[in-house]
Structure 1
Amino acid sequence: MGKTIYGLDMFHYAELIQDDDKGLEYAKPERLPGAVNVKVDPKSEQSKFWADNGVYDSFNNMGDIDLEAELADLPIEVQNKIFGHKVENGISFASSDDKAIFLAFGFRAKTSTGGHRFYWFLKGLPELMANENKTTEGKADPETAKFKAGFMTLQNKKGKNRWKAQAEFDEGFDPDEWFKQVVYDGASFSTGKDTEDSTSSVDIGKGV
């Protein structure tokens, strides 16, 4: 029997504090309520090597990885943090001096066989998005917030060249376990269940 993916919830983000030869560190993930939709568009370019009068070999080169998400709202305090806006007397000011933070972005989707598929995108730089508002025409028509980030691969050896983690878990799995940390390698994730080895990691490649 085939499997389908549907539904979407539990948007999370986490600041990427460090990613270099000296270390890889994320802040604690934070929830972004009101998930509406998400689109991930990884671009790759195929190079062909010709020999013996034909295509002898092909190589895929990773390009840009664009992620666009739509939410019920992107709270001002979150905008301040991810875009580097300054706050004075409770007022948020955007300026040309602002510096956006690198971050990870996670969420989950349902599977038709039960359970969920979980995701972490590991290193992205958010982009400013346009504002859209319109007058009320007799009934409430809520405006959603857009979020866009360009993702890339990690540099530190712990997650070298990785840009995404995904896994599937059956019904009954506590989703908070996945979102307690950014999963950048197998050792960085534990189900938290009481086992003989309570720190043992699960197979984060399941369902890929």
Structure 2
Amino acid sequence: MLEIVGALTGSPWIYAVVALSVLFDVFVPVLPSGVIVIMSATAAAAAGTGAAGQVPHAVPDIMMLTLCAATASVLGDMVAFRLAWRGGERLDRAIARSRRLTTAQERLGTALARGGGVLVVIARFAPAGRSIVSLGAGAAHRKLREFLPWSALAGVAWAGYSVALGYFGAQWLGATWLATGVSLLALFAAGAGAAFLVRRPKPTTTAG
């Protein structure tokens, strides 16, 4: 896959591949959007290593890659949010049967009502966390102006982190499978940490 992504790095098609993978993984969380973003950044870093004194041509590609991934992330969130908002009784029953969706919906509603949505940002890194939060927010009929800024921040944070892993991994270790593997491990580690924070039960307070 690295060779295929590398071949597309010099073509505008790489942005379409990245955008579609990020856009649709809110509905199909098993899509390897993070893997594709990292491999694209790794290939771009390799393509940008030129002769001494030259400006790497990959720098604008890296910026566009980050913007593309972040924009697609927010668009996917908004589509899932609106679909869940208009989902009707069938979706409400499906969410009621899912403990994860119900818990996320409750926690997200409390966080947004208090003016904070850090949970949205954290969940973006967790496996399927983006899907749960976007669908939960829509099904709970949260206000778009409450959810959108945090979704945008989550998309930028996730895209920037993923691109940085691929780019700097290639700069430090070379555009090799080792660099890609180390970058993916760092992405999965962030996902595991985010999943722990999202699933961690809220502390209970006792009257004293």
Larger strand fraction of residues:
1
Higher radius of gyration, 1 or 2: 1
Give me the TM-score of the superposition, normalised by structure 2.
0.23
Larger helix fraction of residues:
2
Give me the TM-score of the superposition, normalised by structure 1.
0.23
